[in-house]
Structure 1
Amino acid sequence: MSWKYIKLISVAVVVVLIAALSFVIGVSFGVTFEQDSLKDVLIPSLSAMGSWVAGFGTLAAVFTSLWLAEQQRKNNSEKLKCVFDVFVIQGEPNDALAVNVTSIGNKPSYINSITIHSADSTVAMCIQQFSHLSSPIPVSLAYGQQATFVLSSDFKKHINDYVKNRCSGSYKNLFLSVNTTTSVFKVKFGESVLKHLK
């Protein structure tokens, strides 16, 4: 169960418990309001409130442990920070498109491909040719390690052909995917990339 659903359930349970507690206190004081001995009602009511507070504490402890377990699971998962942009590369006459990938998760990542997708197309474009300055694919990245995949100089033509033939000429829904053995990390085409392509 994701942390989002755990939070929703916990809020619902807390609201129900507060409503029930308010009802019990209101009824107990309302029924005995006209009696002379307030202590016969007040002490049992306070005792009940103590039980409710203890129940809230137990519930909070349960949800805290669930939250910590979820955070631990997220920290131990595969995480990549991906930047797809136009770069100036020393020794290259023209600007080049490149994907900079940094591993920021505790689990190593094994990158095996990079693909281009569009919501306007049912067919993806697999990138096969990279510049000689590019990091190799496949590559394994441990925490803190980085790889830069420099696309070939003719990639601009290939992506424009893909958009023209497969995406009805629309650049709007393009995104790049960095694919590992267990996950897919998606990056939308930014304004600088779209400007470079057009």
Structure 2
Amino acid sequence: MDWKHIKYISVVIGVTLIATLTFVLGISFGVTYEKDSFTEIIIPVLSAMGSWVAGFGALGAVFTSLWLAEQQRKNSGESLKCVFDVFVIQGIPDDSLGVIVTSNGNKPSNVNSITIHSSDSTVAMSIQQFAPSSTALPTYLPYGQQASYLLSSDFKSHINEYVNKHCSGSYKNLVLSVNTTTDSFNVKFGKTVIEHLK
């Protein structure tokens, strides 16, 4: 469970408990007790409310520890910044597709494959053909290092064939994945890429 879901659950639980407690106290004091008996009840009720406050404090401590653990996991893991776009390459007459990958995490990454997939399809397409000037796979990327994966000039036709055969001709949900030994980093097909393919 990630921090986003933990945050939503904690807000829902907190609001529900506060609303329930307020409603019950208001109904019980407004209907059940007269003025004389009210003073005899207020001290025990305040004691019970102290237990509720302690419970909220314990709940807050639990969620804070979960949040800190999630932040530590994010900061200590690998992270890649991936750019998938159309590039002009010297010596190649036509524009070409390329993927620029930069390691910006605390752990080095070992990029071992690049794939294309879509939610409209049950199969993914593995990229095997790169331009001669492209970085070779697999690639070891320590912090701050960058790799450029330039697709071959005829790869445009391969993507279009994949879209027509496996995605019912739809480019809408296409995603490029840069896969490491432990994770995958996804990049949606941008407008310039789709226009280039069409």
Q: Same fold (TM over 0.5)?
A: yes
Q: Distance in 1 between matches of 2:150 and 2:105?
A: 23
| Aligned position for 1:93 | 93
Is the Cα contact below 8 Å between 1:111 and 1:179 reproduced in 2? yes
| Aligned position for 2:77 | 77
1:49-78 CA-partner distances (Å, limit 9, x unpaired): 333223222221121111111221222233
SS of residue paired to 2:44: helix
1:27 matched to 2:36? The reply is no
Distance 1:45 1:147, change over 3 A: same
1:16-50 CA-partner distances (Å, limit 9, x unpaired): 43244322465256543331x75433333333333
Amino acid at match of 1:44: P
Single out whichever of 127-136 and 47-56 deviates more from structure 2.
Answer: 47-56
Q: Distance in 2 between matches of 1:15 and 1:83?
A: 41
| Aligned position for 1:53 | 53
Distance 1:58 1:137, change over 3 A: same
Amino acid at match of 1:156: K
Distance 1:16 1:153, change over 3 A: closer
Is the Cα contact below 8 Å between 1:25 and 1:45 reproduced in 2? no
SS of residue paired to 1:140: strand
Q: Distance in 1 between matches of 2:29 and 2:168?
A: 70
| Aligned position for 1:41 | 41
Q: Distance in 2 between matches of 1:17 and 1:54?
A: 13
SS of residue paired to 1:94: coil
| Aligned position for 2:67 | 67
* Residue segments in structure 2 that go unaligned for 5+ positions in a row: none
Is the Cα contact below 8 Å between 2:29 and 2:38 reproduced in 1? no
Amino acid at match of 1:154: D
Amino acid at match of 1:33: E
SS of residue paired to 1:129: coil
Distance 1:16 1:193, change over 3 A: closer
What is the RMSD computed on CA atoms of the aligned residues? 2.5
Q: Distance in 2 between matches of 1:48 and 1:16?
A: 18
Q: Distance in 2 between matches of 1:108 and 1:64?
A: 28
Name the TM-score, length of structure 1 as normaliser.
0.83
Q: Distance in 2 between matches of 1:42 and 1:148?
A: 71
Q: Distance in 1 between matches of 2:33 and 2:113?
A: 74
Distance 1:10 1:121, change over 3 A: closer
Percent identity over paired residues:
65
Q: Distance in 1 between matches of 2:30 and 2:172?
A: 64
